[in-house]
Amino acid sequence: MNQKEFWNNKFKNDDFLYGLKANEFLASNINKFEKNMRILCLGEGEGRNAIFFAKEGFDVTAIDSSDVALAKLQKRAQNENLNIKTFCIDLNSWQNSEKYDVILISYLHMHKDYLKELLKKIENSLTIGGYFIGEFFSKEQLNYNSGGPKDIDFLYNVEDFNNYFIDFKKDIKEEIVVLDEGDGHQGLASVIRVIIKKEN
C-alpha cells in the first residue's frame, strides 16, 4: 500500500481524525510571523493548521499525499471563505521550486532514511529570515499510546534535526506533552519540537 492509499483510508470518514484545532505548538509560534508571510504546510492532512493560519491572514499552501484529506480541507476553506492552495504530492516527490517564509509540519510519518532529503529541501525553500517549525513524535513515543507510528524507523531523535540546518538558529527539544487532537492523538506523548530560523 502506497502513502496515498494508506492516508486515504485513514481520512475516508466524514469526521476529522486529528480534530479541527491547529496543532497547539505550531499555533503558539504565530507571534513570530508577519501577516504578509507565505506559509507552506507539509503533510498537512485534513487542513487544521492551514485553516488556522489562513484565518489569521497568511498566504497558505498545503501539501499532502491524500487527495481525500485535501478535499476535506478545501471544503472547510470554501465554507469559511478562505483561499488555500493545495497540492496532492508524496513528500518524497516534492520539488521545492518556490520560496516560503514559514514551513510547518505536525506529526509527519516518514521513514528516517528519507527525512534527510526532506530537510535539505526545506533548507533550500526558506527565505532569509524564514522559519521551519515542526512537532514530531520521538523514538520514546513507542512507550505511549497517544498516536503515531509503531515503527521506530518512522520516529526521530533530536540529532536527526540538529545534524542539518548548520548555519541556522536552532531550538530543538524533546518533551513530554499532553495531546488533545481529535480521535487520532489523545494523551501523553513524547515529541520533538523544532524551531529553526534561516538568518542569512
Q: Find out whether 25 and 195 touch, Cβ atoms under 8 Å.
A: no
CATH no. for residue 154? 3.40.50.150
**CA distance linking residue 54 with residue 77, whole number of Å:** 9
pLDDT over 70 percentage in the chain: 99
- Domain holding 73, by residue range, is 3-197
Stated as kind and residue range, the H or E segment containing 187 is: strand 185-197
Report the pLDDT value the prediction gives residue 1, as an integer from 0 to 100: 66
Could you give the angle at which helices 48-55 and 67-79 cross, rounded to 10 degrees? 30
Which uninterrupted H or E stretch holds 26?
A: helix 24-28
pLDDT at 177 over 70: yes
Report the largest interatomic distance among the alpha carbons of the chain, rounded to a whole angstrom. 44
Question: What does the pLDDT average to over 174-189?
Answer: 94
At 149-171, the pLDDT tens digits run: 999 999 999 999 998 998 899 99
Average pLDDT score, the chain: 93
Is residue 57 over pLDDT 70? yes
Distance in angstroms (rounded) separating the CA atoms of residues 183 and 186: 7
Q: How many independent structural domains does the chain possess?
A: 1
